[in-house]
Structures are given as C-alpha cells and as structure tokens.
Amino acid sequence: MPDFLNADYWLAHRLELSYAAAAFVLFLAFLFATFPYTPAVKAALAPMGLRFESSGQGFALPFGARLDKVRIQQLVPGAPPLFESESVRVSPALFSTLLFHPGINLSAKAYSGNLKLHVHRRGEGAAVSFDADKLDLASIGLLRQFGAALGGELSGDGDITFDPLSPTGDDGAAVLHAKGLLVRIPWPTGAIGLGDVELILSLEHGVVKIGTIKASGGDLAIDGRGSIQLDPDDWQESRLALQFTLTPSPTARQRLEFLLNFLPHPPGTGPYKLGGTVSSPAFS
C-alpha cells in the first residue's frame, strides 16, 4: 500500500501530483466562472424579503465576479434602498456549497467603508454573516424617513438566520461600534453628539435583546439595556421594553436644556424607561 505520508513517494510521483493540482485548479476556475452569481444572490436574499438588482456583471480576478451598480431593497413598493454600491465582488462559498448548502461571499467598498457578507441557504431560509468596517452613517441615511440623520463611523460584525415560514424563529447576534456618533433631529438644539457607542444585541424567537448600549465622550452619556418584541407584520408596532440612564456633559447641559426639559425627571436622578411601541413610545 503506498505510503502517502512519505515525502519520497510524492517526489517519485511529481508528474501525477502536478496533473492532479492542475485539474483541481481548472475545476475551481470552471466552478467560479460558470457559477450563477446573480440568481444565487437573488435566491439568498429572497427569504429575507429583499429584492436584488444590478446593471451588469464582469469577471473578477483571480476568481469570482464583479456586479455593477448594485441595489438591495425591501419588496414593499416605494421602500428606500437598504444598500447601494457601484461595485460588489461576489464569489461562491466553496465550503458551504460542498456541504450542499449553496452560499456566496460578497464584499464591497460602500459608504466610504468596507462591507463583507457571507450568505447561504438554511432550510427555506437564509443564514447571513457580516463584517462592517468604518461605514459612513451620514451616507447610509438610516433615519431619513423620520426627518433626522446620523453621522459618524460604524463598524461591527454578527450572524443572523432568517426563517420566512416562521419569522419568530429568526435568531442571531451582533456587536456594533460607532465612532463619533452624531444625531441630527429637527429641533433647535442642533446635532447631539454621542461620542463612541457600543451596542451588543441578540435575536431570539422574535425578540431583540439589547445586552449593552453605552455612549461616552459626547454630549450625553448613556448606559442601557432591554428588549424589543418584533411585530412580524409591521415593525413600527414592535413593543419596546428599554431602560437606561442618561447624563449630559457640563457643556451640553445648557445647550440641550430645551430638550432635557421634556424628560419625565431630571437626568441623573434615576433610570428612564421606554415602553409602548416604535410608533407610539411611552417614556417614563
């Protein structure tokens, strides 16, 4: 029986080894060149209720494809895009594909930062892993529909599993860090600086559990935790159960006096509680 662990065996069969290596490289090249990238991305995002669009596709060295003018948005008519990029690199997730869970890897320079995604099918749903680095929050426009805006840089990573047949079966976890976070609201107080913000959360059985939310180094120091019971039909009806402390900096206390006067009690005298729903919050 050949001794495959012996170096002399492979030295004596260098030609066969080179043929096998060349065949494997050709197999990978054929797989990556003929992989149905656009249908794979659409199929992976469909369980999350998302529509994928791109204007064209080109080959990307050494393996994979480049998708141009990519847009991802909800299936709801008139919904703003969740993601846009001039160019996204996509390649098959070889390991998960070999395990009969077809998947893809995506990476893009977007919002002045870098974003990487791994998506593969899991049952009728999809599993997503993401890694974000220095995304410009002002470019994303998360609060635009509320007449507000964010500023600063966002980084973080996490994993989320979506189940379209049972939304309460979604689960995941994420750790997010924002640097120099600014919140601009339509009030005469101007932008509110929250400095460096850390958010640690998990998703279990339709409940977003916020283990930590901390802000330091800005106008307001925040330390909180709680949960959000997601409404599968209308996210604005999701129920809030949050508790946090809020302490303004000495320089911000006077500038934000108009806004602080709306609080149920003065800052620093006890925690605040936020209940109700997203559309009708109850503050105490």
Under DSSP, the state recorded for 234 is -
Mean pLDDT over residues 117-123, rounded?
Answer: 76
Mean pLDDT over residues 3-10, rounded?
Answer: 52
Each residue's pLDDT tens digit, 182-237: 888 777 677 888 899 999 999 888 888 999 999 999 998 999 999 989 887 777 78
Mean pLDDT over residues 156-180, rounded?
Answer: 84
* Predicted local distance difference test score (pLDDT) of residue 190: 75
Is residue 1 very low, low, confident or very high in pLDDT (cuts 50, 70, 90)?
A: very low
Give the Cα separation of 131 and 236 in Å (integer).
27
Is residue 98 scored above 60 in pLDDT? no
With a CB cutoff of 8 Å and minimum separation 6, the contacts of 120 are: 44, 93, 96, 97, 101, 102, 103, 104, 126, 127
> What residue type is 256 in one-letter code?
L
Which runs of E-coded beta strand occur in the chain? Answer: 50-53, 56-59, 65-74, 81-92, 103-110, 113-122, 125-136, 149-162, 171-184, 192-204, 207-216, 220-229, 239-248, 272-276, 281-283
Is residue 179 very low, low, confident or very high in pLDDT (cuts 50, 70, 90)?
A: very high
Is residue 78 very low, low, confident or very high in pLDDT (cuts 50, 70, 90)?
A: low
Is residue 30 scored above 70 in pLDDT? no
Give the residue, 124 or 257, on which the prediction is more confident: 257
Mean pLDDT over residues 89-117, rounded?
Answer: 75
Mean pLDDT over residues 144-164, rounded?
Answer: 82
* Predicted local distance difference test score (pLDDT) of residue 67: 78
Each residue's pLDDT tens digit, 41-55: 777 677 677 777 777
Is residue 40 scored above 80 in pLDDT? no
How distant, in Å, are the alpha carbons of 90, 188, 266 from that of 281?
41, 22, 19
* Predicted local distance difference test score (pLDDT) of residue 4: 47
Is residue 13 scored above 70 in pLDDT? no
Mean pLDDT over residues 233-258, rounded?
Answer: 85
CA 95 to chain centre: 22
* Predicted local distance difference test score (pLDDT) of residue 95: 59
